[in-house]
Amino acid sequence: MSKRTDPAPDDRLDELESKRRQAEQAGGEERIAAQHKKGKLTARERLGILLDPGSLNEIDPYRAHRHHAFGLDEQRYPGDSVVTGFGRVDGRMLAVYAQDFTVLGGSFSEVQGQKVARLLDLALDAGVPVVGLMDSVGARIQEGVYSLAAFSELFWRNTQASGIVPQISVMLGPCAGGSVYSPGLTDFVIMAEGSNMFITGPKVIETVTGEKVGLDELGGAGVHNGISGVAHFAAASEQEALALTRKLLGYLPANNAEPPPRRAPADDPQRMETALNSLVPGDPSEAYDIRAVIELVFDRGSFLEVHAGFAQNAVVGFVRLHGAVVGVLANQPMVKAGVLDIDASDKLARFIRFCDAFNIPLATFVDTPGFLPGVREEHGGIIRHGAKIVYAYSEATVPKLAVITRKAYGGAYIVMSSKYIRTDLVYAWPTAEIAVMGAEGAVEILYADKLKGRPDKAEAEKDYVDAFRAEFGSPYAAAASGHVDDVIRPEETRPKLIAALELLRDKRVPSRPRKHGNIPL
């Protein structure tokens, strides 16, 4: 019987290093060069920018597909078309995957689905955020139904993880067909210039409808950040998109059982900004930029706006207040006078629900004349879309604060974090006008008979408007009836909000037992 001869330990280590190098080469030098020629980074280069240096721990780097059709048996690569693993951003752990375009165009295969599904399972068990770097031609059609099944597993896990761990999709290349639904299920989508997303491509659209459209015009970053609202952020480059991802993670907790990360306060909690006292114009029809209010009230330089290009009549984003993360929402008088419409309703409601899911307090600044009137809005379903806002605020159990800076009229006043949908504290500036409708419109209805035919109609109408505003639109009238907790000087807003959040830091609200509610769609 011959004696067994095992490889020397050094030989085994050499074999391991060889296989590691092979996995790191992915599709090979030529395809890496082709990726660079297009001005794009490889999957591993992107991970090197996103993660803290040396922190990536890869999972399943040698896994390969099992298919043979269409020459796939001659195109097997270690790790297949995705790099999966975990690492750190600013010292905090997260799970991450990066589609590798150098391997069969980053196509979504059975193996890619299995690797990403395994990663999501680990992230849920460990309670860490998930970031996906997307660059793929879509489903690997050579694998048929196996690729589709892998998509199904991913979508199911995206749904199960929703509200438990934050999920971020970073679009760094194409994303077409069914593959767009995974980013669509995640909490935030960041699109780099040159990336695109669409259900059906330009050629199919031209064949079916006759419309001719380019990739960027159909589903580029500008379209999805400014028109469709699919993308929450747009970036000028891959590097900027990855830096933005790191910045966004700094505002998010690891999971729904943890508070958001708090920083040591670097701004005076008692800081008074006298500029706020004169920021709201005396003329109710004159606009001002609500972003100026946000920048002056919260910790300096902390405002990260979300959905900046979409539904600009509403503003949402993350800020810090005395070091604590807060979700800020506001009407924007600079755009459509801050009116609420379909897109603004969706934007506000989704941001509220994300913040509530991840223990982020809400601060709302109100200046809206109402919902946008018109046949287009009514036929588009403004009723069900507007109902999303009141549902989201009513459902939220995190600390909720509101500041009425000027107009708060009718149904829009109710839905924008008003007192009796259980906002904890509502403040008003002296410029606040809280009423069923604007004074001018109310006078036209209430005093139509008295004004009819009067030679001094204009002067009498002005007197009625002033009287109505004083009795029904004054913040003091609202405060006297308990609809407002206090009327404050605008410069006092920062210390007032800090004190309120300190009070509500350990807020607990019991919920009635139920499977889940049914949010308006």
- Catalytically active residues are 177-178, 411-412
159-181: b or e for each residue (b if 16 or more CB lie within 10 Å)?
Answer: eebbbebbbbbbbbbbbbbbbbe
Are 20 and 12 spatial neighbours (Cβ–Cβ below 8 Å)? Answer: no
d(CA 272, CA 488): 12
How is residue 108 annotated by DSSP?
A: B
d(CA 22, CA 436): 69
Angle between helices 290-297 and 493-504 (to 10 degrees): 60
Measured CA distances, 47 to 55, 98, 130 (Å): 10, 7, 13
Are 154 and 136 spatial neighbours (Cβ–Cβ below 8 Å)? Answer: no
> CA-based angle 420:422:425, to the nearest 5?
95
- Classify residue 247 by burial, with Cβ atoms within 10 Å: 0-12, 13-18, 19+: middle
What residues pair up with 136 in beta bridges, in sequence order? Answer: none
